[in-house]
């Protein structure tokens, strides 16, 4: 395992980080800003989050998200190919194939999602080699392993 965890966020997490200045999704951005982890994304999840924010919350929300992304170190990988997506067919909804394929292509150590219906399922846990968890579970897991650094970020130590 690398010294720095590569963390892949799905569209839902990006949206939550953009609309809420607190919570697990935003903490993950703060951890990336502090150099404690490497945020990895695909162009598709970033574009999807931007479009959703613009259509649902307005132009200012989309601009705020773009600013958040520009201020947060991250690696934006190419979108997975259809062939790379097909590998995960049968374990998740077809619309979410790009998330698993993107996390795999990006070499993620962890996939963080809020989608309990499609991504945080027993099927994904059984068949996908990358652990998938919600933002709070990830933050708890991360801080448990990197407890000495948690206080420096102003994050709860529990």
Convert the pLDDT of each residue in 4-54 to its tens digit.
899 999 999 999 999 998 889 999 999 999 999 999 999 999 999 999 999
Host domain of residue 113: 5-150
Would you state the pLDDT for residue 144?
85
Mean pLDDT on 114-142: 94
Residue 156 domain flag: no
The string of pLDDT tens digits covering residues 47-85 is 999 999 999 999 999 999 999 999 999 999 999 999 999
In a domain, 158, yes or no: no
Q: Determine, yes or no, domain membership for 9.
A: yes
Is 34 inside a domain boundary?
yes
Assess if residue 114 is contained within a domain.
yes
Number of domains in the chain: 1
Which carries the bigger pLDDT value, residue 146 or residue 74? 74
Alpha-carbon distance values, 122 to 91, 131, 133 (Å)? 9, 11, 11
CATH number at residue 136: 3.40.50.1010
Sign of CA dihedral 16, 144, 106, 92: negative
């Amino acid at each position: 395992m690398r010294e720095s965890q590569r963390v892949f966020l799905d569209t839902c997490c990006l949206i939550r980080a953009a609309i809420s200045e607190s919570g697990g999704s935003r903490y993950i951005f703060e951890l990336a800003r502090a150099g404690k982890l490497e945020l990895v994304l695909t162009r598709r999840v970033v574009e999807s989050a931007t479009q959703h924010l613009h259509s649902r919350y307005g132009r200012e929300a989309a601009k705020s998200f773009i600013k958040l992304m520009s201020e947060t170190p991250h690696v934006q990988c190419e979108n997975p190919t259809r062939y790379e997506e097909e590998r995960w067919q049968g374990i998740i909804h077809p619309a979410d194939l790009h998330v698993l394929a993107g996390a795999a292509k990006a070499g993620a150590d962890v996939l963080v999602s809020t989608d309990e219906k499609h991504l945080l399922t027993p099927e994904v846990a059984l068949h996908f080699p990358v652990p998938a968890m919600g933002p709070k579970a990830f933050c708890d897991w991360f801080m448990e392993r990197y407890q000495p650094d948690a206080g420096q970020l102003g994050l709860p130590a529990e």
